[in-house]
């Protein structure tokens, strides 16, 4: 039997590893674009390469801004490609730029535009101050060519090369001569209290020729650049070789003129396939070994918990149940005052453990049963949404190439999964003996989503005030409300209708009319210590993975390892279930039958550790400054904590619900 279980575990692990291979980056069916030289193009082959620009962000500020806010060169015929819901919610603002290239036509030091700032002009002073602020906070450009980020590749420690999907707009040397951020790359950036604008870029576009592949033209497989600061005085005849860097003094005492230029070269490389053109970016992120360490760490925790649960189920409970049920008929004493067939074991065999003594109270409805059922309904909705989203991402459907697809998928799934939320909430509320079904349905549909939307709306107000590109347009907010009230709420009503229509969940034992008195509990079996201890092991499974997730959200690093994330998600489900079952068994043995809320809060307390870790991450890893950025960070963190609380609490509750029903249905005590 053990060999079969071990083989099954290995088989499942191998299948998950195969399907969740982190090489599945691309959305299946994403069509490549072919490029041809000028004069040889057609409908199936483009000749012009359009460079798009995205929002600018910084690790020192939560506030992203649109490209145009910094007074960079604008496209004469500006156009914005259509954006999905996820891109809008993440604050992405993609637009065309004046950087346009002809395929295989190299350009050298071509001027784009000149920006002049006149001393004494208030409008120019405001624009220049905003540009300085961007350099001071190390705001990063994000450029896109053929739906692929233009990267800045540079050497890091141990001779490794890191390819950053963004590059700074400039850098700053402080008043005491300390070079900040990118200013360390050039010894000429040494003037105190001076800003250096990266106004020139050397772009290299690598393509794969289709001459031997059976398709016309060529396909772009890489786009890299190197930012430079070069002072040009003549826009008509710019010189991009040598010269002094483009300085912007800290004090605006004289006119400033910034000439933006670029150079572009094309390089053929047929060894890089189009389907793997993101590899050079992802390989430069050295996280694989750490990820496997996280998986092994989590598996050890799961094996430890599984061993303890197996010991309880196979040894302790098995002996208790066997001793209880194998009492001979002749040793049973009939109660003369009872009209029913109630029996008690003989005194010699009557050594019941604590969990059997509370059989008449273990299914007594909990206090605040409506609130618990509402939480469980929303938790079920979130759990199913998370599983499907991660599974699709693991298969490659929600790759980085398909921008905003992850958030769009999550929102759409949540809206469509209102029926399970209403069904679970209604069924449990009816089992608890509740009768206010209208209130239950309304709270299920509105309470938790309302809290999230209120928090989100307040954060959006701050973004509006700050003029950030992450501010959601009013039309999008109306669309979100329409999805919520037009689709999710009606589906919740439908689920609740079927949930109330079905009979209450049948309990294996009857509940006594008079509650049993709970004996004095030890410190470790009291509610608060047990709940606090219950969230430690599940959090231990995820904290390494959590570091990379927070990096992708707040440090703007690319996250693509959904295979690892899906494995950790499965391990988290198992750990929450087993930890809650263990503590539930210990509390029942201590004759404490209040397990309904405790099972939910035990695994749900993992969210509190998540919040503590987020606070630690804020103060130790991030360099965020400013009151607005701080409020935004903790505001969005609270949304994440609430969602995680509902998810983990629901998993622990249903695991404990199954466990309690299982053991008392086997014993069949009345």
Least confident interval from 285-289, 352-356, 549-553, 638-642: 285-289
pLDDT exceeds 70 at position 318: no
Mean pLDDT of the chain: 83
Same domain, 236 and 360: no
Quote the CA–CA distance of 66 and 450 in Å, as a whole number.
29
- Same domain (yes/no): 232, 357: no
Identify whether the C-beta of residue 469 lies closer than 8 Å to the C-beta of residue 93.
yes
Percent of the chain residues past pLDDT 90, beyond the cut: 36
Give the domain-ending residue among 286, 304, 320. 286
* Residues in Cβ contact with 329 at an 8 Å cutoff, skipping those fewer than 6 apart: none
Q: What confidence tens digit (pLDDT) does each residue in 202-236 have? A: 999 999 987 777 778 889 999 999 999 988 877 77
Q: What is the pLDDT of residue 161?
A: 78
Same domain, yes or no: 308 and 238: no
pLDDT at 484 over 70: yes
Do 347 and 271 fall within a single domain? Answer: no
Q: Return the pLDDT at 206.
A: 93
Quick one: 308 and 280 in the same domain? no
Q: Point out the domain boundary residue: 255, 286, 317.
A: 286
| Final residue belonging to a domain, choices 270, 286, 302 | 286
**Same domain? 644 vs 661:** yes
Answer whether residue 398 shows pLDDT above 90: no
208 and 231 housed in the same domain? yes
Domain membership flag for residue 43: no
b/e sequence 179-213, b meaning 16+ C-beta within 10 Å? bebbbeeeeebeeeebbbbbbbbbbbbbbbebeee
Give the pLDDT score at 287.
58
Task: Note the pTM of the prediction, 2 decimals.
Answer: 0.84
Residue 32 lies in a domain: no
Question: What is the average pLDDT across 184-196?
Answer: 86
CA–CA separation, 150 and 145 (whole Å): 7
What pLDDT score does 17 carry? Answer: 41
What range defines the domain where residue 324 resides? 289-512+536-667
Q: Which long-range contacts (CB under 8 A, 24 or more apart) does 547-555 make?
A: 547/617, 548/287, 548/291, 550/614, 550/617, 550/621, 551/621, 554/59, 554/62, 554/617, 554/622, 554/624, 554/633, 555/59, 555/621, 555/622
Interval 245-262: pLDDT, tens: 888 888 888 888 899 999
Rounded to 5 degrees, what angle do the CA atoms 533, 539, 542 make?
165
Q: What is the pLDDT of residue 60?
A: 87
């Amino acid at each position: 039997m053990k060999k079969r279980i071990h083989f099954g575990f290995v088989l499942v692990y191998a299948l998950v590893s195969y399907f969740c291979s982190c090489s599945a980056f691309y959305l299946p069916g994403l069509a490549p674009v072919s490029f041809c030289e000028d004069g040889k193009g057609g409908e199936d082959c483009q000749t012009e390469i359009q460079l798009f620009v995205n929002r600018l962000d910084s690790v020192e500020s939560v506030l992203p801004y649109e490209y145009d806010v910094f007074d960079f060169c604008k496209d004469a015929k500006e156009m914005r490609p259509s954006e999905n819901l996820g891109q809008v919610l993440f604050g992405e603002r993609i637009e065309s730029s004046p950087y346009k290239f002809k395929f295989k036509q190299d350009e050298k030091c071509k001027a784009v535009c000149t920006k002049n700032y006149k001393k004494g002009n208030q409008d120019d002073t405001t624009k220049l101050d905003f540009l300085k602020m961007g350099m001071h906070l190390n705001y990063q450009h994000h450029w896109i060519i053929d739906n692929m980020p233009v990267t800045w590749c540079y050497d890091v420690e141990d001779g490794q090369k890191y390819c950053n999907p963004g590059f700074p707009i400039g850098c700053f040397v402080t008043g005491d001569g300390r070079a900040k951020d990118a200013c360390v790359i050039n010894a000429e950036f040494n003037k105190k209290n001076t800003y250096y604008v990266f106004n020139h870029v050397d772009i290299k576009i690598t393509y794969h020729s289709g001459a031997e592949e059976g398709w016309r033209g060529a396909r772009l497989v890489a786009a890299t650049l190197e930012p430079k600061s070069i002072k040009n005085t003549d826009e008509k005849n710019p010189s991009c070789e040598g010269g002094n860097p483009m300085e912007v003094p800290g004090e605006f005492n004289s006119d400033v003129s910034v000439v933006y230029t670029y150079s572009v070269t094309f390089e053929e490389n047929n060894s890089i396939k189009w389907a793997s053109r993101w590899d050079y970016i992802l390989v430069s992120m050295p996280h694989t070994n750490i990820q496997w360490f996280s998986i092994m760490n989590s598996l050890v925790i799961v094996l430890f918990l599984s061993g303890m649960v197996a010991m309880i189920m196979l040894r302790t409970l098995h002996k208790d149940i066997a001793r209880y049920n194998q009492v001979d008929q002749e040793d049973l004493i009939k109660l003369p005052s009872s009209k029913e067939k109630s029996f008690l074991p003989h005194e010699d065999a009557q050594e019941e453990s604590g969990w059997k003594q509370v059989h008449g109270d273990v299914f007594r409805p909990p206090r605040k049963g409506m609130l618990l059922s509402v939480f469980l309904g929303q938790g079920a909705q979130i759990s199913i949404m998370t599983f499907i989203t991660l599974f699709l991402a693991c298969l490659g459907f929600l790759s980085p190439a398909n921008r905003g697809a992850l958030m769009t998928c999550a929102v759409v799934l949540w809206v469509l999964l209102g029926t399970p939320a209403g069904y679970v909430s209604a069924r449990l509320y009816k089992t608890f003996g509740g009768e206010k079904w209208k209130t239950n349905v309304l709270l299920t549909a509105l309470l938790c989503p309302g809290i999230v939307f209120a928090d989100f709306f307040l954060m959006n107000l701050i973004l509006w005030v700050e003029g950030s590109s992450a501010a959601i347009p009013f039309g999008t907010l109306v669309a979100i409300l329409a999805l919520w009230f037009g689709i999710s709420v009606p589906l919740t009503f439908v689920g609740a209708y079927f949930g109330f229509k079905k009979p209450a969940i049948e309990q294996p034992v009857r509940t006594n009319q008079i509650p049993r008195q709970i004996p004095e509990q030890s410190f470790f079996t009291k509610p608060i210590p047990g709940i606090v201890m219950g969230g430690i092991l599940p959090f231990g499974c995820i904290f390494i993975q959590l570091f990379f997730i927070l990096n992708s959200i707040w440090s703007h690093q690319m996250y693509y390892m959904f295979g690892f994330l899906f494995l950790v998600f499965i391990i988290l489900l198992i750990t929450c279930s087993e930890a809650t079952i263990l503590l539930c068994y210990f509390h029942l043995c201590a004759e404490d039958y209040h397990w309904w809320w405790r099972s939910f809060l035990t695994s749900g307390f993992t969210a509190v550790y998540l919040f503590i870790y987020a606070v630690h991450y804020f103060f130790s890893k991030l360099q965020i400054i400013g009151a607005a950025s701080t409020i935004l960070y903790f505001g969005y963190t609270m949304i994440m904590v609430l969602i995680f609380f509902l998810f983990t609490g629901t998993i622990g509750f249903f695991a404990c619900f199954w466990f309690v029903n299982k053991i008392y249905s086997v014993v069949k005590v009345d």
